[in-house]
Chain A
Amino acid sequence: MERIVHGMSPSEALANLRQADGYYVTNTARDLSQSDYKNRILLHTDLLAAPAREEAGFFSLEITGGASIHVDMLRKQVDPFLKLELLREKMPNTMFQTLCRGINLFGYRPYPQNVIRMVVSEYAKYVDVWRVFDFLNHVPNMVAVFEEVQKAGKILEPAVCFSTGPEHTDDFYVKKVGEILDVTGQEIVLCIKNHGGLGTPKRIGDLVNAIMQKYPDLVVHYHGHNTDGNDVGRITAAVQAGAKIVDASDHAFSGFYGPPSILSAVNTLNEYGYQAIGLKEEAVVETSEVLRNQRQYYDYFESQFKGFDPTVQTHKLPGGAAGSSFEQATKGGFLDKMPTILHDELPKVQKELGNYWSVTPGSQILWTTAVANIQAGDRYANASWDLKNLLLGKYGPFPFYQPADWIYEKIFGSDWRQILEKEGGMDQIEDMDIEQERRDLAEKLGYQPTEQQLVNYLQHPNDAVAFFKFEEKFGKVYVLPPSVLFRRGGFKLGETIQFRDHYGKEHVVEIGPKQHDETGTAHVYLNVDHHERRYEFEPEVTESSGGAAKTVQLSKQEIEELARSGDYRAPFGANVCEVSVRVGDEVKAGDQLLILEAMKMQTPIKSEVDGKVESLAVKVGDAVKPGGELVTVK
């Protein structure tokens, strides 16, 4: 049987898939990184693994998309396009796959049509397989991406998000597949996106079977997570029922929340008489031999809580959010409340909010609502902006039922019906003036940006600019291994670090002494390529010495009280993503002052009084701690 390779046309690839006597495997490196390593697996590691992964003969390597484009720039300081170029050099045959959130692209809220089309056409130059989903399974939200992918001649893989519950019947999903095919035509791969790893093997087998009964020529790609430890079972059932591609990951890096190990699934299916087409098991083993040595450097980013979690069937957290939820609970100091949140509140909120699919950005809404409900002790008292938008139908219609009236009333007040009437439904998002954005970016950078830079800027304006400036200052840091980039506690005196830079020059850096002068400025001496260099670091501003985001221990009541007096404090730890006023502006009660962002969720801070903006303690991009000063209105 033939291996499917980069450069095949979608029809050629689909013909191969339809005729396949067996199944293909997608290596979900990106999703594994997201689910079990907080998205921190570095390009350096993927490049080390590239030759063996190329040899392994996968249908595709899922290596970009989801939150990774954002995290590539924000936390790994690697150009998401350059990443694909470099991997392509080492992997000429393997198709690259992405995960695209439809109208939300690679971000967290809807983008205008012209931005969607530009972003997709630019990334389609590098990405062969496009998995596209919408957290409400609202097909119109995906159409623009569908069209651009097909226009670019790439393989389109629309996804139906899968979940469980009385409404989630085979009938519903088969109809959903029909809705998609009506838009896309037959030349697609259909993904069953089981991001939570929900349902039993039987449930998945039945679902695939139902879809195949109705659409016998459809190529089904099963994607699952191993949170409950049983995804190999679901994969097996999916293939038995006719799925032609399944998702799995390298065993050396497998954890608890990502897809399961490739060879475990392959060995199981072998026994049942199903062959993994084109797959070279030795190369899969070899990949893990390479990766095994790297895992130690990612220790810090692995989940605080290790072990399979069969209770996912109740709380339904997607694998990609499981690790970060525990991290948030640890940092937020509510770890003790996790059992209540996961086993009681979150399932309850899910049902109350329409039992839709817990995946970005919908999963964040469910999660933050459940946390807020428990933290406040008063359910739905602190509705986030995104929850309000969900209730108003800004993301799309509820798939099964609308949440109960009392929730609307609690959140919007007694005139909630009028508000829903007036503001409800999806907004027509105006096209962006892309040329204006290009000029803005050029001004921020001081040079003419490339199309790729513009594309990333349109989605993540602040973080993209910060990344471009970072690269000017520190160079292309992907060449540094995780043992350097993720080193904690500093290096040893005399330790040498060797690396080859992006342009091919070898360097050696030897760690020298560290001194502080009388002003507190630190001097770090390094021997760089046999030249002494000194790097200066200003002392870090401690909280007692002031600084933009002062932190005070304030209770929630105190923060609310201060707000009523015009002194606005951060109600939670967040980043400032927009400042809507300037000092001296006249504002009225209800006017938006600024927007905070935490956990991919935006929360506007609105004035509770009429008055004049007296002071602003923060600017866009600042991180504030709970109780930190934001703005005062007098």
Chain B
Amino acid sequence: MKKKILVANRGEIALRLIRAIQELGHAAVAVYETPDNEALHIRTADEAVWLGDGPRCDYLDIDKVIRAAKKTGACAIHPGYGFLAENPDFAKACEDHGIIFIGPPSKVIQALGDKVTARKIMQDAGIPLVPGTTSLAPGDAGVAEAVEFCRNHGYPVMLKATAGGGGRGIRRIDDEKQLKAEIPVARDEAQAAFGNDAVFLEKLVINPKHIEVQVIADQEGTTVHLGSRDCSIQRRNQKLIEIAPSLIPDQALVDRICDTAVQAAKAAGYFNAGTVEFLVDKDYNFYFMEINTRVQVEHTVTEMVTGIDIVRTQIKLALGKKLAFGQDDVKVRGYAIEVRVNAEDPQNNFMPEGGKTVAVYRSPGGYGVRLDGFAYQGYTIPEVYDSLLVKLTVHGFSWNETVDRLRRCLNNFVIVGPKTTIPFYLRVIDDPDFKGGDFNTSFLDTHDYLLEYEDFTSEGNKLAHLIAEIHYRQQNPYAV
């Protein structure tokens, strides 16, 4: 029966979700704030509900979203990533209003969102963890506890907000003096950012690889993994390039990590799609980090190598279907790389280019190329949202083929108007360490020279610049 499903998000992920909903023969309901007036997700959806002037408050307004679902008769809500996706109150509100939340139950979100609780669950299940504390006791007692931990395990450590996530609320501590000074600051910040001042410590794994595993479980508890991803190339804990599967040569180790992820999901009583994140140190020890209870930005690479549509599966599972495949059915073929094409100036500290209009937009195509974007020629990028314009995902049978395909696509991608991360990615993918799979989360810090590229560097572009000048000035100003 045709159902209505509300998409509580914007940008590329809203379009991604709408596509899956429509492919399943359902109707998609979009929601939007005023700055997104011109956004493509509104035009693509079957219906759209205006939430308010925003910015970034109406998309986060649980009541308004629930009302929009009620008003349009939507039976389910897909939250995407960000905004309300990992807010247990939202999942709870859906449950209370009899709306299907496409994701795990609110209790699971609650438990896994609290990092200390999550650590406890994993510890009990025998999942390897980075040495760490529970939430520190309030006041000086907590400081004393922290000092004691560091004396036992050594520095550096990470001071994290218990309620934090997505790379926010994390600071590195190198000695006791700094530890004592930073704890109160971190508490204040956590209170301000997450409404919860609890913080905890974790031993810092120096320059790890960031490896994560896509898991998916149905309501009967059947849980499978869809293989690994490497998301080590990050800028200040924000992922830029994601690869499936991991390039770690030891396949047995990768299998162990994947099995551990399934074990972790089961321990958490997980349902629907999620991601189990691990750190892998230079000696190939791996440690559980966290479970993301949502669809990830980088889910595309997993889809490309497994052929499994994760969002479609999410919806079907949420609507009560059982998993249609078992672990043995999941086969990883070749490699996929996703780059996040952001409207940012990499050479100006990745400053967002919001407010600019996309004067020309021409995307690459061809075999093994996938685009998840929402920009179009003439689109003015709102200044109030994130800077992701389009995710370019390429698939190839070998690693080299995949990198070659990505280079070709980046070279053929034409976006005029805002500056983008494309020229920077072109530099990254030609770096020998990248090509050799020899990278970890320190890649950008140790390869900062990759930012020293010149825009429009080709000789053809330079000469064209002079032609443009001769054209504009009506004569060659350098010749007279």
Q: Is A372 an interface residue (CB 8 A)?
A: no
Given contact pairs A75-B478, A486-B479, A531 touches B414 in the complex (Cβ within 8 A):
yes
- In the bound assembly, the distance between CA atoms of A529 and B458 in angstroms comes to 11
* Complex contact B469–A537 (CB within 8 A): yes
What residues of A have a CB within 8 angstroms of the CB of B476 in the complex? Answer: 485-487
* Interface-lining segment among B197-205, B251-259, B380-388, B460-468: B460-468
| A115 to B: closest C-beta gap in Å | 27
Q: Is B449 an interface residue (CB 8 A)?
A: no
Which residue of chain B is the closest to A480 with respect to CB atoms?
Answer: B463
Given contact pairs A507-B464, A532-B360, A476 touches B471 in the complex (Cβ within 8 A):
no
* Complex contact A535–B469 (CB within 8 A): yes
How many residues does chain A have at the interface if contact means C-beta atoms less than 8 Å apart? 43
* Complex contact B463–A499 (CB within 8 A): yes
- In the bound assembly, the distance between CA atoms of A523 and B359 in angstroms comes to 11
What residues of A have a CB within 8 angstroms of the CB of B360 in the complex? Answer: 525, 532, 534
* Complex contact B463–A524 (CB within 8 A): no
Which residue of chain B is the closest to A40 with respect to CB atoms?
Answer: B479
| A70 to B: closest C-beta gap in Å | 14
* Complex contact A509–B464 (CB within 8 A): yes
| A483 to B: closest C-beta gap in Å | 11
Partner of A475, one of B414, B459, B478: B459
* Complex contact A532–B460 (CB within 8 A): no
B window 4-26: CB within 8 A of A: none
* Complex contact B474–A488 (CB within 8 A): yes
- In the bound assembly, the distance between CA atoms of A502 and B462 in angstroms comes to 12
* Complex contact B465–A474 (CB within 8 A): yes
Given contact pairs A474-B463, A505-B460, A509-B464, A485 touches B474 in the complex (Cβ within 8 A):
no
* Complex contact A533–B459 (CB within 8 A): no
| B164 to A: closest C-beta gap in Å | 41
Q: Is A398 an interface residue (CB 8 A)?
A: no
* Complex contact A490–B474 (CB within 8 A): yes
Q: Is A152 an interface residue (CB 8 A)?
A: no
- In the bound assembly, the distance between CA atoms of A29 and B478 in angstroms comes to 22
| B268 to A: closest C-beta gap in Å | 48
Contact with B along A465-498 (1 / 0, CB 8 A): 0000010011111011000111111110000010
Given contact pairs A509-B467, A511-B471, A532-B416, A485 touches B479 in the complex (Cβ within 8 A):
yes
| A118 to B: closest C-beta gap in Å | 28
Q: Is A61 an interface residue (CB 8 A)?
A: no
Q: Chain B CB within 10 Å — which of A488, A505, A507, A531 has the most?
A: A531
Q: Is A77 an interface residue (CB 8 A)?
A: yes
| A572 to B: closest C-beta gap in Å | 18
* Complex contact B465–A501 (CB within 8 A): no
Q: Is B237 an interface residue (CB 8 A)?
A: no
Which residue of chain B is the closest to A493 with respect to CB atoms?
Answer: B471
Q: Is B470 an interface residue (CB 8 A)?
A: yes
* Complex contact B416–A534 (CB within 8 A): yes
- In the bound assembly, the distance between CA atoms of A433 and B304 in angstroms comes to 65
* Complex contact B470–A487 (CB within 8 A): yes
Q: Is A84 an interface residue (CB 8 A)?
A: no
Partner of A489, one of B362, B463, B467, B474: B474
Which residue of chain A is the closest to B466 with respect to CB atoms?
Answer: A474
- In the bound assembly, the distance between CA atoms of A448 and B469 in angstroms comes to 29
Main secondary structure of the interface of A (DSSP, over half): mixed
Given contact pairs A75-B478, A485-B470, A479 touches B462 in the complex (Cβ within 8 A):
no
Which residue of chain B is the closest to A474 with respect to CB atoms?
Answer: B466
| B462 to A: closest C-beta gap in Å | 3
| B69 to A: closest C-beta gap in Å | 41
| A515 to B: closest C-beta gap in Å | 9
- In the bound assembly, the distance between CA atoms of A491 and B459 in angstroms comes to 21
Which residue of chain B is the closest to A537 with respect to CB atoms?
Answer: B472
What residues of B have a CB within 8 angstroms of the CB of A76 in the complex? Answer: 479
Contact with B along A513-549 (1 / 0, CB 8 A): 0100000001111101101111101000000000000
- In the bound assembly, the distance between CA atoms of A526 and B417 in angstroms comes to 13
Partner of A533, one of B416, B466, B471, B480: B416
* Complex contact B472–A533 (CB within 8 A): no
- In the bound assembly, the distance between CA atoms of A511 and B473 in angstroms comes to 14
- In the bound assembly, the distance between CA atoms of A528 and B362 in angstroms comes to 14
* Complex contact A533–B456 (CB within 8 A): yes
Interface residues on B, range: 20 to 34
Q: Is B475 an interface residue (CB 8 A)?
A: yes
Q: Chain B CB within 10 Å — which of A475, A486, A502, A503 has the most?
A: A475
- In the bound assembly, the distance between CA atoms of A470 and B478 in angstroms comes to 9
Given contact pairs A474-B465, A507-B464, A509-B464, A532 touches B474 in the complex (Cβ within 8 A):
no
* Complex contact A514–B460 (CB within 8 A): no
- In the bound assembly, the distance between CA atoms of A514 and B467 in angstroms comes to 13
Given contact pairs A507-B464, A524-B468, A487 touches B475 in the complex (Cβ within 8 A):
yes
* Complex contact B463–A479 (CB within 8 A): yes
- In the bound assembly, the distance between CA atoms of A40 and B478 in angstroms comes to 12
* Complex contact B467–A473 (CB within 8 A): no
What residues of B have a CB within 8 angstroms of the CB of A501 in the complex? Answer: 459-460, 463
What residues of B have a CB within 8 angstroms of the CB of A470 in the complex? Answer: 478
What residues of A have a CB within 8 angstroms of the CB of B480 in the complex? Answer: 75
| B441 to A: closest C-beta gap in Å | 32
- In the bound assembly, the distance between CA atoms of A505 and B460 in angstroms comes to 8
What residues of A have a CB within 8 angstroms of the CB of B478 in the complex? Answer: 75, 77, 470
| A446 to B: closest C-beta gap in Å | 12
* Complex contact A524–B472 (CB within 8 A): yes
| A327 to B: closest C-beta gap in Å | 11
What residues of A have a CB within 8 angstroms of the CB of B469 in the complex? Answer: 535, 537
- In the bound assembly, the distance between CA atoms of A474 and B465 in angstroms comes to 6
Contact with A along B424-461 (1 / 0, CB 8 A): 00000000000000000000000000000000100111
Which residue of chain A is the closest to B412 with respect to CB atoms?
Answer: A531
Which residue of chain B is the closest to A488 with respect to CB atoms?
Answer: B475
* Complex contact B471–A514 (CB within 8 A): yes
What residues of A have a CB within 8 angstroms of the CB of B460 in the complex? Answer: 501, 505, 507, 509, 528-529
Partner of A477, one of B362, B416, B463, B475: B463
* Complex contact A535–B463 (CB within 8 A): no
What residues of A have a CB within 8 angstroms of the CB of B459 in the complex? Answer: 475-476, 501-503, 505, 507
What residues of A have a CB within 8 angstroms of the CB of B462 in the complex? Answer: 473-475
| A486 to B: closest C-beta gap in Å | 6
Which residue of chain A is the closest to B477 with respect to CB atoms?
Answer: A540
Contact with A along B70-112 (1 / 0, CB 8 A): 0000000000000000000000000000000000000000000
- In the bound assembly, the distance between CA atoms of A501 and B457 in angstroms comes to 13
What residues of A have a CB within 8 angstroms of the CB of B465 in the complex? Answer: 473-474, 535
What residues of B have a CB within 8 angstroms of the CB of A75 in the complex? Answer: 478-480
- In the bound assembly, the distance between CA atoms of A489 and B474 in angstroms comes to 4
Given contact pairs A490-B474, A524-B472, A532 touches B362 in the complex (Cβ within 8 A):
yes
What residues of A have a CB within 8 angstroms of the CB of B456 in the complex? Answer: 533
* Complex contact B474–A528 (CB within 8 A): no
- In the bound assembly, the distance between CA atoms of A475 and B456 in angstroms comes to 11
Which residue of chain B is the closest to A76 with respect to CB atoms?
Answer: B479
- In the bound assembly, the distance between CA atoms of A537 and B467 in angstroms comes to 13
- In the bound assembly, the distance between CA atoms of A509 and B466 in angstroms comes to 11
* Complex contact B472–A526 (CB within 8 A): no
What residues of A have a CB within 8 angstroms of the CB of B461 in the complex? Answer: 528, 533
- In the bound assembly, the distance between CA atoms of A473 and B470 in angstroms comes to 14
What residues of B have a CB within 8 angstroms of the CB of A40 in the complex? Answer: 479
* Complex contact A528–B416 (CB within 8 A): no
List 7 A-B pairs, minimum CB-CB distance, nearest first. A475-B462, A535-B468, A532-B360, A507-B460, A501-B459, A524-B468, A528-B464
Residues of chain A touching chain B, judged by Cβ–Cβ distance below 8 Å, are: 40, 75-77, 470, 473-477, 479-480, 484-491, 497, 499, 501-503, 505, 507, 509, 511, 514, 522-526, 528-529, 531-535, 537
**Additional A-B contacts beyond A528-B461, A537-B469 (16; CB < 8 A):** A75-B480, A474-B466, A475-B462, A477-B466, A480-B467, A487-B476, A489-B474, A507-B464, A509-B464, A514-B472, A522-B472, A524-B468, A532-B416, A533-B468, A534-B416, A535-B465
Could you show 14 A-B contacts with beta carbons less than 8 Å apart?
A: A75-B479, A474-B465, A477-B463, A477-B466, A479-B463, A480-B466, A489-B475, A490-B474, A501-B463, A503-B459, A507-B460, A522-B472, A524-B471, A528-B464
